Structure 1
């Protein structure tokens, strides 16, 4: 082998080593970026869950101190449970059956602008049905609300 061939082979190996090093460095950067993105995603999820938990606890306190109607609290709590990150793993309707049963009975009633558009007779009928359902579930829902004052994802 000639000296030129050896120099060319050595040069090619050095270029290959340099490119391999650069490719490895880029792969490590991509991995770090993916880890950072995953950590950010987890932080967002945790922050969101913490806000939901705080809302659950606040509504529970309000229900217990009668600052929030039982039916309104049940509607709000059922929605909040659905938005928790662990809602797929934990069966909240089974864990808090009274809240979800009351929610199921009244969730189809008109609210806000939709309620204003109802005739007075229909509005009174819905109010009567809501009050009946509220009376039926009041004690059970309040017991669950008291339990929820200390709610966290592990409880």
Structure 2
């Protein structure tokens, strides 16, 4: 084999490095797309609901929501009395109502007005707290 032929044949190590780089680039592109997709979803929800999920965690801790519910992303929220709030945006009903942001806000603030027989107490959240918590539940769980 001539020296020129040897120089033109890529080594297996060089080929593996190139393939690895391509995989890393592909994963980075997918991750960026996923983050952009999640940010767009959250922005859309925030605009529709008018709440701020950053304020919601403190409001849920202050109001003891995690004593009864498991709430992803809320420290200490591992309750088992009420249902887990993971994926609540995909559910068909909130309490006795069709699952909509308005129904969620009404439910988490005045649940016994919606269903007098529910175990969930009226929390009497302010309208802004209800919007903040609804935004959090719809965008981040």
Higher radius of gyration, 1 or 2: 1
Which bracket does the TM-score occupy, shorter chain normalised?
0.3 to 0.5
Which has the higher relative contact order, 1 or 2, with Cα contacts under 8 A spaced 6 or more apart? 1
- The normalised TM-score by structure 1 is 0.41
- The normalised TM-score by structure 2 is 0.44
